[in-house]
A = this chain, B = another copy of it.
């Protein structure tokens, strides 16, 4: 049989780009910036969002889309603080796709928002491959993960417009070499800004938020 077409995988990626394009249009029309937060499981993405909320109690111009394989734990944590939040459950998938993000995005109160933060599924590999129409991918790396993750998972760190180094309050208890880590980041992305933060003390969170709102 001639002219058989096998197109499953390519189509999926093509479809994703179409949805990402729709997201870009909506964000442009509503003048909303969208950030795609990507990091390992337990690297402190949700804790950072909690700290952003409690440090700026009056600030209610941002919403969160929580990506998880299962559970609504993270959305519940932010909902308890009064942040508009939706939970996106991938039911097994290792990353968020643009179609899912699109449907959650159009349900948000966009006219009252300046910023949407997407917390992707905890994973340093797959989410970096998917365009979800964001203005910036932000790589989140915890000091407990060791220095060399930027070179071991280079795609994310190459794609990122900023790197957030979390849990710096734990450095005294670790053998973590911060300079080595910063060098590894530089190795894959020479000019990317790095924000060193502690969501426990709040150190560094102001500068990060300032940078995000300047996008």
Interface flags for A85-99 (1: CB within 8 Å of B; 0: not) read 000000011100000
Task: Flag whether A5 is at the interface (Cβ < 8 A).
Answer: yes
On chain A, the number of residues with a Cβ less than 8 Å from chain B's Cβ atoms is: 41
- Whether B173 pairs with A68 at a CB distance below 8 angstroms is no
Q: Which residues of B contact A183 (CB under 8 A)?
A: none
Q: Which residues of B contact A94 (CB under 8 A)?
A: 94, 123, 125-126
Q: Which residues of B contact A123 (CB under 8 A)?
A: 94, 123-126
Say yes or no: A142-B6 contact (C-beta < 8 A), given A126-B126, A148-B71, A154-B70: no
Residue of B9, B151, B173 near A9 (CB, 8 A) is B9
- Whether B5 pairs with A8 at a CB distance below 8 angstroms is no
Q: Which residues of A contact B (CB under 8 A)?
A: 1, 3-9, 40-43, 68-71, 73, 92-94, 121-126, 142, 144-146, 148-149, 151-155, 167, 170, 173-174
User: For residue A149, which residue of chain B has the nearest CB?
Assistant: B41
- Whether B3 pairs with A6 at a CB distance below 8 angstroms is no
Q: How far is the CA of A174 from the CA of B170 in the complex (A)?
A: 9
User: For residue A122, which residue of chain B has the nearest CB?
Assistant: B124
- Whether B125 pairs with A144 at a CB distance below 8 angstroms is no
Say yes or no: A42-B144 contact (C-beta < 8 A), given A94-B94, A126-B125, A173-B173: yes
